[in-house]
Structure 1
Amino acid sequence: MAAGAPHPSAGSDWGKADFEAIYDCPDPRMYFRTLRPLDYQIPHHGQGVFRALTESLQRRRRTGRPPLQVVDLCCSYGVNAALLNHKLNLADLYDRYTDAQETGGLPPARLADEDRAFFDELRRPEAVRTIGIDAARHAVAYAERVGLLDAGFAENLEAAEPTARLRQVLAGTDLITVTGGVGYISATTFRRLLSCTPTAPWIAALVLRTVSYAPVAALLAEAGLVTEQLPARTFRQRRFADLAERRAAFCALQARGLDTTGKESDGFYHADLYLSRPAADVAALPLERLLP
């Protein structure tokens, strides 16, 4: 799921702790209450990256084109969409959904109504059209109901081809984002997405270092996209939940030949940023200028 949340059908068979119970609730309160003690922060990093990319894409657009469209993979409760399109940060969301007095006692339907007004008031003038895809139908329904997603699709593209409605919506995609879902979703999902986009979009992925992005990058190369990795910088995802999770992560990193010094040795999962774009865009705007 976006915001680093794993695909609910994937389980935890590659060493990560199992938080499946929090990913498909009627609202995001349990999600934020569970992840706050682990200092879950990858959506915060995604916010800065994705805003920079959408601003760059907006500057390139000709007058009269449809609004910029961002598709968030593994979107969960619309966390990435909230941070991209609204004047708030991740700490604001933690405060809202873990505050027993403000939201703790509200029924899910009442919370959703109040959330819609809350997000409407904070919407940025430069907000983009956001589409969310996730197998967790309750989470997607929440994000749609409160207005974080212009359209949400509870579809598992690892298991099935996109529906006709999703194919139609995907045709106008400018940017695909994902924070932490790679490893639960594979090149299969990206192949099915690209089959729906006449013009290849930019793809920005924050990928845990325990997972290889090479199969996805190879697929994207076949579609004419050049994948670059942001050099000399990784992004914290969250603290390890327990010693077993830490050990599994270190084993995976050792198998990949990666040094944990100054990264996972600090007690956190770390993610790399990959950006895939057409070769002409890479030549026109180097990554170090796009994301200094």
Structure 2
Amino acid sequence: MNDRAAFQVLVLPYRQTAQGTEFALFRRADADCWQGVAGGGEAGKSPLQAARRETAEEAGLPHPACRTGLRSALPVRGRTPPCTATLLLASQGSTTSKETGMPLDSTGKISFDHIYAEPDPRSFFGTLGQVDYLIPQLAKPYFSKLIEEYRAERGVAEPTVLDVGCSYGVNAVLQRCNVTIDQLYDYYTGPDVLALDHEALLAADRGRVRSHAGTEDIRFIGLDNSGPALAYAQSAGFIDATIHADLEQDDPTPEQQDLLDGVDLVISTGCVGYVTDKTIARVAHGSRPWMAHFVLRMFSYDPVAARLAELGYQSAGVDGVFRQRRFASAEEQTQILDKLSSAGVDPEGLETDGWLYAQLYISRPAGAATELATVMNAVSPS
């Protein structure tokens, strides 16, 4: 039986370094040429799965994330039956942690890119639960207050919220389904759920959303460069629409811009620093939405605030700091402490105690961010 599928993959592994982006090309032993990683697909497997397999086998790079997903798909001429060639990019950390065996990205943090390439969120919760990732839970009451203030001031009964770096729609689930992140960890890592096939898990999650229908009138749009995460979040009903894009590199398409033009509020829980003022400015053009961003202390919000100021925004910080997750290793902690020291940020009593910490910044047009930040100071983290 022929187990080959009618597609081929071409993978370009890359990594981010202090000098910029480095791509890997390989010289063929049987021909005088250089190329990326290439191979054929297998029946029942996705192009992403084929890309991960070929990259591990041919290049010796374990668990390539391919988080940017599908970049181009073209028909291959002269093939019978017809065949499609799929180009993907496989992100690799600049170094590998000796303690965990996981790649360290260019910021010094452990790279969890591989968990965003899975078809459902079980790997996401199984992995991040081990490091007590809890910023979405701490952010929940602040996002609720932001939505409440917007409704009261603008008279919008059903605001549209854009979650930048939404992955599997965790922030939307917390708002819509009256659950805590600990309950989500218990659910997605429980033996009964781990035993479900993909369609059964999807049906269960759709049922969760239906059971809370009408309890929270919010429309959620997810922006991410992970196609699999976005696809699951929308199929499950966690989010209502998706923008699969890399706005660091590209302007939104006309269809994506139509979605952005209808956004009332923008939220994020850790992507700023990986996405820059380029993405945030592209999001802000048009509707001028209110924004609330939780930003790791290792990153500065100043470039984003300065770019938004050009668009008529004011930005202000909310009091306090918020735990994001535990360090995955002592090596990761050392890397981050060095980065904080270089940035002039004092980690004593915070990152020195084993946790990554974030700060909350509010940005809104017409010079009213300070007043809104003052309102947010009264919120109690959940």
- State the TM-score, normalized to the length of structure 1: 0.91
- Report the counterpart of residue 289 of structure 1 in structure 2: 375
Superimposed CA distance per residue, residues 149-191 of structure 1 (whole angstroms, 9 cap, x where no aligned partner)? 1101221111211111110011121110111001111111112
Matches within 5 A, 1:60-139: 60-62=153-155, 67-101=158-192, 103-123=193-213, 125-139=215-229
SS at match of 1:273: strand
**Larger of the two Rg values belongs to structure:** 2
Matches within 5 A, 1:50-69: 50-62=143-155, 67-69=158-160
**Code of the aligned partner of 1:88:** V
> 1:7: Cα distance to partner?
11
Query: Is 2:341 the partner of 1:254?
Result: yes
**Compared CA separation, residues 124 and 252, structure 1 to 2 (3 A):** farther
**Compared CA separation, residues 73 and 97, structure 1 to 2 (3 A):** same
Query: Is 2:290 the partner of 1:202?
Result: yes
- Report the counterpart of residue 275 of structure 1 in structure 2: 362
Percent of residue pairs bearing the same amino acid type? 38
Matches within 5 A, 1:23-34: 23-34=116-127
Query: Is 2:270 the partner of 1:180?
Result: yes
- Report the counterpart of residue 41 of structure 1 in structure 2: 134
Superimposed CA distance per residue, residues 20-50 of structure 1 (whole angstroms, 9 cap, x where no aligned partner)? 1101210000010011110110111111110
- Report the counterpart of residue 3 of structure 1 in structure 2: none
Hey, what's the Cα distance between the residues in 2 that align with 1:42 and 1:235?
A: 7
- Contact 2:314 2:365 (C-alpha < 8 Å) held by counterparts: yes
Matches within 5 A, 1:135-174: 135-174=225-264
Hey, what's the Cα distance between the residues in 2 that align with 1:7 and 1:47?
A: 30
Hey, what's the Cα distance between the residues in 1 that align with 2:266 and 2:289?
A: 7
Hey, what's the Cα distance between the residues in 1 that align with 2:341 and 2:145?
A: 33
List gaps (5 residues or longer) in structure 2. Answer: 1-64, 69-90, 94-104
- Contact 1:7 1:134 (C-alpha < 8 Å) held by counterparts: no
**Compared CA separation, residues 114 and 49, structure 1 to 2 (3 A):** same
- Contact 2:176 2:209 (C-alpha < 8 Å) held by counterparts: no
> 1:290: Cα distance to partner?
3.4
Name the structure, 1 or 2, with higher relative contact order (CA <8 Å, separation 6+): 1
Matches within 5 A, 1:207-218: 207-218=295-306
- Which of 15, 31, 40 is matched with 2:108 structurally? 15
Higher strand fraction: Structure 1 or Structure 2? 2
**Code of the aligned partner of 2:147:** T
List gaps (5 residues or longer) in structure 1. Answer: 1-5
Hey, what's the Cα distance between the residues in 1 that align with 2:372 and 2:127?
A: 39
**Compared CA separation, residues 157 and 163, structure 1 to 2 (3 A):** same
- State the TM-score, normalized to the length of structure 2: 0.70
How many residue pairs match? The answer is: 280
Hey, what's the Cα distance between the residues in 2 that align with 1:50 and 1:56?
A: 10
SS at match of 1:23: helix
Hey, what's the Cα distance between the residues in 1 that align with 2:268 and 2:145?
A: 15
- Contact 2:318 2:376 (C-alpha < 8 Å) held by counterparts: no
